Amino acid sequence: MLVRFWGTRGSIARPGLSTVRYGGNTSCTEVRSSSGTLVVLDCGTGALGLGQALVKNRPTPVNGHMLIGHTHWDHIQGFPFFAPLFISGNEWHIYGPRGVDASLRESLSGQMQYSYFPVTLDDLGATLHYHDLVEGTLEVGDIRVTTRYLNHPALTLGYRLEADGVSVVYCTDHEAYSTQRPEDQVQLAGEAVRHAQFISGADLLIHDAQYTSAEYAAKKGWGHSTPEYAVDSALSAGVRRLALFHHDPMRSDEAIDQLVAGARERVAQAKGTLEIFAAAEGQVLELERSVTPPRPSEPKKQTARWDSAVTPSRRTVLIAVGDSGVRRFLEEAVADDGLRLIPVSDCDSIPAMVKSEQPSLVLVKHGLENCDAVKLARTLREDPSTGAQELPIVLLRKSENPAEQRAESAAGITDWLMLPCSKEYARTRIHAWLLRVACRWKNAPQPEDEESRLRRLRASGLLDTAPEERFDRFTRIAAALFEVPIAFISLVDRDRQWFKSRTGIDATETSRDQAFCAHAILHNDIMQVTDAHADERFADNPQVIRGPRVRFYAGAPLSLGEGTPVGTLCVVDHRPRSLDDDQLKLLRDLSKLVERELLIGSSSGSS
Ligand SMILES: [Zn+2]
Ligand SMILES: [Zn+2]
């Protein structure tokens, strides 16, 4: 894997004599897998140079993926100057965290409004696809990407990239969750441990190191790290190489040299083997497979893609915080977000309320007179009838206490929010907890012959055509035959499923991420989901918890003669049920008839 830095500065570009060696451009890093997948990490002013290099002397399309950590200016200012986006025929996928207020696309178009910039997002020539992300994993070409929320006043994602047997973790605009040393933190739970797992064993860790520890004292809560914290985290997580990144605009080249020397000294004192440097504009690294294999995949694979249908608004949060000051603070922090905050006066009533209100988050203030948070956490975790094994329980604390926090963690407290903090910070953290639980369903893997499958589908000329009686009669028959309210013929396109015919639903298409049919086309025979609530592939799918409230699904694959099927004929019900063998045979028979119609209509013919 190849890594090239195009911009390493934080906050604002700082060209000039004092920054010649490490560079003045803001965050932009190019990553390439050996097979050629191109990933651009952040799009600060450094993206100008990268864009120019990419389009120079290249007649072929320049396609790639852009992963944006968050939409603060220093991470997106190069976007309107990134040349490949202006050339028609190029195709770019833009990924970033869904903001608290707005989608990624809305945030990016904000800086391209007429009063700031002469060209709008819609005027860009390339084909752009936007992907709002939450925590989880996704595949970008042959690179596996894991996302994790970082500690920053705005909702920010870090990215772990794994390909060619090596791993690169990009972790900037991030501050320590705790003032405890990382060795102590790993004893704790919560974000600190999640962060340690996230960077664990990385071949290269690109880490925020904006402030010296002297500066940090005055800049706590600004969302940036010290080199000391970066070094300690890297050492305790077994990282091979650490690139100090997001250099302060006021830091001269000589001052950065000193930070590096200090960081190396710290490694030597710890008798570590960590290799350290400060990322410099223009620097290229070729990462080779390490002797130790990369850490095994996390067993629970969640989709990292966000779906706008799952909004964290109208979600319920139980708050047991006692005095009205903290309560008012929380209410004001999330005032615009449509959350339902239910105040609770004593912890003993929370388990019953968890059952009746089904909250997405519980916030408890530490040290409340009539609230034993440890006992509460134990009850919620141990009593299966509460259904709260995974429910985030966050403790609001005025100070850290490693011994107490260890006990709290062992009892099942998820995390801590340290008070006082800013309202924006509290809001960002609350959203991170809610977004994590909001999105638990699985993307179907892509078929191996995906590109040729898509070519077959598109050559068929069936996509985006008008309704046709010859297909509609089959969905009507299927709905009547199996006594279901919904039946449709779905064609699974690159990012969506499009309904050639539908009975009982209004939508003309849904995203592929949500499509049961995206799973069904991977099967040779009918895929049956007898109860979506009990199936971890679908339990929290928006099509299940909202939308048509799918509870039962059966889909028969539709093939265009060869390769992976292009779509399905499926039936859906709002209640759990199943098809018996006779019914399955009928659905199979019907699907064969639909296949014949597909081939007749298909411009690729019935060859
Ligand atoms: Zn930044
Ligand atoms: Zn930032």
Portion of the chain with pLDDT greater than 70, in percent:
91
Q: Angle formed by the axes of helices 581-601 and 469-481, to 10°? A: 180
Alpha helices in 482-560 (DSSP H): 516-520, 542-545
Tokens of 536: 């971890």
User: Which ligand is the nearest neighbour of the Cα of 208?
Assistant: 1
pTM (global) more than 0.85: no
The rounded Cα 188 to chain-centroid distance in angstroms is 24
- CB-CB neighbours of 325 under 10 Å: 10
What residues have their beta carbon closer than 5 A to ion ligand 2?
A: 72, 173
Measured torsion, CA atoms of residues 583, 588, 589, 593, in degrees rounded to the nearest 10: 140
- Give the distance (Å) from ligand 2 centre to CA of residue 208: 10
Task: Give the closest residue to 319 by CA, choosing from 369, 356, 371.
Answer: 371
For 154-194, what is each residue's pLDDT tens digit? 999 999 999 999 999 999 999 998 876 655 554 556 787 78
For 420-440, what is each residue's pLDDT tens digit? 999 989 999 998 888 876 655
Paired sense of beta strands 486-492 and 567-573, if any: antiparallel
Residues present in the chain in total:
607
DSSP sequence for 330-396: HHHHTTTTT-EEEE-S-GGGHHHHHHHH--SEEEEETT-TT--HHHHHHHHHH-GGG--SS--EEEE
DSSP sequence for 268-317: HHTT---EEEE--TT-EEE----SSPPPPPPSS--B-B--TTS-STT-EE
Instruction: Confirm if 572 and 486 have CB atoms less than 8 A apart.
Output: yes
- Give the distance (Å) from ligand 1 centre to CA of residue 151: 12
Which residue has better confidence, 338 or 268? 268
- Give the distance (Å) from ligand 2 centre to CA of residue 521: 41
The rounded Cα 508 to chain-centroid distance in angstroms is 26
**Which residue type occupies 157?**
L
The pLDDT confidence band at residue 531, using thresholds 50, 70 and 90, is confident
- Give the distance (Å) from ligand 1 centre to CA of residue 289: 30
User: Which ligand is the nearest neighbour of the Cα of 223?
Assistant: 2
Tokens of 103: 């989608």
Instruction: Confirm if 294 and 285 have CB atoms less than 8 A apart.
Output: no
Lowest-confidence region among 32-41, 53-62, 348-357, 532-541: 532-541
pLDDT in the model for residue 243: 98
Instruction: Confirm if 28 and 42 have CB atoms less than 8 A apart.
Output: yes
User: Which ligand is the nearest neighbour of the Cα of 8?
Assistant: 1
- CB-CB neighbours of 64 under 10 Å: 26
CA distances from 127 to 63, 121, 156, 289 (A): 9, 11, 25, 34
- Quick one: average pLDDT of 432-456? 82
Instruction: Confirm if 184 and 214 have CB atoms less than 8 A apart.
Output: no
- Quick one: average pLDDT of 13-17? 96
pLDDT tops 70 at residue 304: no
Alpha helices in 200-285 (DSSP H): 213-216, 227-236, 253-269
- Give the distance (Å) from ligand 2 centre to CA of residue 340: 29
The pLDDT confidence band at residue 604, using thresholds 50, 70 and 90, is very low
- Give the distance (Å) from ligand 2 centre to CA of residue 347: 37
**Which residue type occupies 413?**
I
User: Which ligand is the nearest neighbour of the Cα of 9?
Assistant: 1
The pLDDT confidence band at residue 394, using thresholds 50, 70 and 90, is very high
Average predicted confidence (pLDDT) for the chain: 88
- Quick one: average pLDDT of 447-464? 92
- Give the distance (Å) from ligand 2 centre to CA of residue 153: 7
pLDDT tops 60 at residue 310: no
Paired sense of beta strands 127-133 and 91-97, if any: parallel
Whole-number Å distance between alpha carbons of 286 and 271: 26
Which residue has better confidence, 546 or 7? 7
Paired sense of beta strands 393-397 and 361-365, if any: parallel
- CB-CB neighbours of 195 under 10 Å: 25
Query: Residue 130 belongs to what H/E stretch?
Result: strand 127-133
pLDDT in the model for residue 184: 56
pLDDT tops 80 at residue 295: no
- Give the distance (Å) from ligand 1 centre to CA of residue 19: 17
